Amino acid sequence: MKIFYAIPILVLLGILFHAASADVYISDKEYAGYFASDGTYTVYGAVKNTESQPALAKVQVTVTNGNATFSESRILPLIYSLNDMPFKFKFPQITSGKPILQKPAVSFILTNSNPLNIEINYDKTLIKYPDGHLTGFITNTGSKTVNNVDIYALVHDKKNDYLDEVQSTWTIPSLSPGNKTKFVMYPDSTVAKEVYYYSCFVPGTDNSIELSVPMKGKTFYISLLSIVYFTNQKFDENSNSMSFDASNPWQIPYYANFMFPEDSSKGNFEVLVDGTKTNALVSIDNETKNWHVAFNVGYGQHKVTISGFDPDYIPNNDEYFYLDARGALTAWAGFSTFTISDAKLLEVLGIHGSYIPQWVKKTVGYMIYGNMPADMVVDEIKYLKSVGVVK
């Protein structure tokens, strides 16, 4: 499910924020932009972590094109010590001109999280093909099943210059201990012929859970990344804030990352833990357009309040806000950690109806494992609707 770049559950030793420094930074040689095959200006690069601990980094990218300036920010997946984390930002507002990249801004939090027990198989099965795409295998070397795995990497030309940031073409639904599975990566077609090698392979997982809360007569859906228990969620229309009971049974602080729909706020979030304001990373994902509000929760029982919701916001309908076409298809066909009904899938796709034949799930399987674009599956469902098979 393509929602946002996956962020593993984090264990924090501290909640200190740092400005960009020589320890967690973006090298000028690993930061550039180009017009991609879809015509949009695309910025790619990598954040280096030379600290002795893993870091959670927020990157802000700013582009000037003529008299207009555009800025996007994102919280990246966890960057382990002495590793890089690739990223890519797309600016659909920029399709022509001579864009000028401004210096990126980086802030970060140091953590003591353990790396994922997912390893890239650096052997003869890691193959780059003449058209620039790559295939390989990953192995789960740990003792627990890992769900919703994506692989990220950077591609280079013969001069060792960076060409693009890429992500595996499908999310691996599940990988049990000791098993391995295949992944595939495709660079943008505008740079495919120049690809010489891939580097900086990074696995990431989406361990999010879903919560909901009544809000102005509707259901407000929330996505959360944390192993802190959040319960008894309530929305206060007078203060436009949301409250939770938080329980952290561990002896050290744990991290929580809430995700809210773009329209639900202008970004002026404030987080109180037991009535005291706490520092929080606030960012909006430029792909999913979901707000991220991330902060630390200490050991024990706490009352958490998040304010800053737009007083005029009302959920448009009772749906999971982060579902795009590919995510909805993946969930409907049983390749995700939750499922949705025929009616919900059709609603997300903008099709009126309540029934889809089960054999269409095989087509979704081709999408996930055979690099079939989601648009092709959507077109098939629309055709089936036009001939009366989808009802």
Structural domain includes residue 100: yes
Please provide the DSSP assignment of 287-320 as one string. TT-EEEEEEEE-SEEEEEEEEEE-TT---SSSS-
Q: Is residue 51 part of a domain?
A: yes
Render pLDDT for 30-56 as a digit per residue (tens, 0 to 9): 899 999 888 999 998 989 999 888 787
The burial of 348, by beta-carbon neighbours within 10 Å (0-12 exposed, 13-18 middle, 19 or more buried), is given as buried
Average pLDDT over residues 222-237: 86
Residues 63 and 105 placed together within one structural domain of the fold: yes
Buried b / exposed e over 74-84, threshold 16 CB at 10 Å, is: bbbbbbbeebb
Asked whether residue 359 is domain-assigned, the answer is yes
- Given CA atoms 143, 147, 151, 152 in this order, what sign does their dihedral have? negative
- Which residue from 391, 26, 37, 6 is spatially nearest to 191, judged by alpha carbons? 37
Q: How many domains does the chain have?
A: 4
199 & 219 share domain: no
pLDDT for 12: 28
CATH label of the domain that carries residue 190: 2.60.40
Residue 19 has pLDDT above 70, yes or no: no
Does 264 lie in the same domain as 230?
A: yes
Q: Give domain status of residue 155, yes or no.
A: yes
* pLDDT at position 85: 87
For residues 309 and 243, the answer to whether their CB atoms sit within 8 Å is no
What mean pLDDT do residues 130-155 have?
Answer: 88
Same-domain pairing of 230 and 259: yes
Do 124 and 197 belong to one domain? yes
| Domain-embedded: residue 291 | yes
3-state secondary structure of 180: strand
Whole-angstrom Cα distance, residue 154 to residue 200? 6
Q: Are 253 and 56 in contact (CB under 8 A)?
A: no
Let me know if residue 7 belongs to a domain: no
Q: Which of 185, 203, 221 represents a domain boundary (last residue)?
A: 203
* 2 domain-assigned: no
Question: Are residues 302 and 218 part of one domain?
Answer: yes
Domain check: are 289 and 348 in the same one?
no
Q: Looking at residue 15, what is its pLDDT?
A: 33
Are residues 187 and 141 part of one domain? yes
* d(C-alpha 57, C-alpha 24), whole Å: 8
What backbone torsions phi and psi does residue 368 show, to the nearest 5 degrees?
-75, -45
More confident residue, 85 or 206: 85
- Tell which of 137, 168, 203 closes a domain: 203
Q: Are residues 130 and 60 in the same domain?
A: no
Based on the number of CB atoms within 10 Å of its own CB, is 258 exposed (0-12), middle (13-18) or buried (19 or more)? buried
Do residues 57 and 108 lie in contact, with contact meaning Cβ atoms separated by under 8 Å?
yes
**C-beta of residue 166 within 8 angstroms of C-beta of residue 121:** no
50 in Cβ contact with 37 (< 8 Å): no
Q: Are 104 and 71 within 8 A, CB to CB?
A: no
Reported as a pLDDT band with limits 50, 70 and 90, residue 147 is confident
Beta strands in 162-316 (DSSP E): 162-167, 172-175, 180-185, 197-205, 209-215, 218-225, 229-236, 241-248, 254-261, 265-273, 276-278, 281-284, 290-297, 300-309
Residue span of the structural domain in which 199 resides: 118-203
User: What is the spatial distance between Cα 168 and Cα 187, in angstroms, rounded to a whole number?
Assistant: 10
Evaluate whether 257 touches 293 at the Cβ level (below 8 Å).
yes
Contact at 8 Å (CB) between 323 and 221?
Answer: no
Torsions phi, psi for 43 (to 5 deg): -115, 130
Q: Do 104 and 30 lie in a common domain?
A: yes
| pLDDT beyond 90 at 136 | yes
Provide the pLDDT confidence category of residue 308 given band limits of 50, 70 and 90: very high
Confidence category of residue 83, pLDDT binned at 50, 70, 90: confident
Domain-ending residue, one of 277, 309, 341: 309
Q: What is the pLDDT of residue 251?
A: 67
Least confident of 70-79, 90-99, 133-142, 282-291: 282-291
pTM more than 0.75: no
| CATH assignment of the domain containing 75 | 2.60.40.10
pLDDT of residue 116 exceeding 60: yes
Q: Is residue 3 part of a domain?
A: no
- Residue 270 is predicted with a pLDDT of 97
**Do both 214 and 164 map to the same domain?**
no
Contacts of 21 (CB under 8 A, 6+ apart): none
Residue-level pLDDT at 14: 32
Same domain, 239 and 303: yes
Provide mean pLDDT across the span 123-140.
93
pLDDT at 334 over 70: yes
Among candidates 116, 113, 107, 108, which has minimal Cα distance to 253?
113
CA distance 307 to 249: 25
pLDDT above 70 covers a percentage of the chain that reads: 87
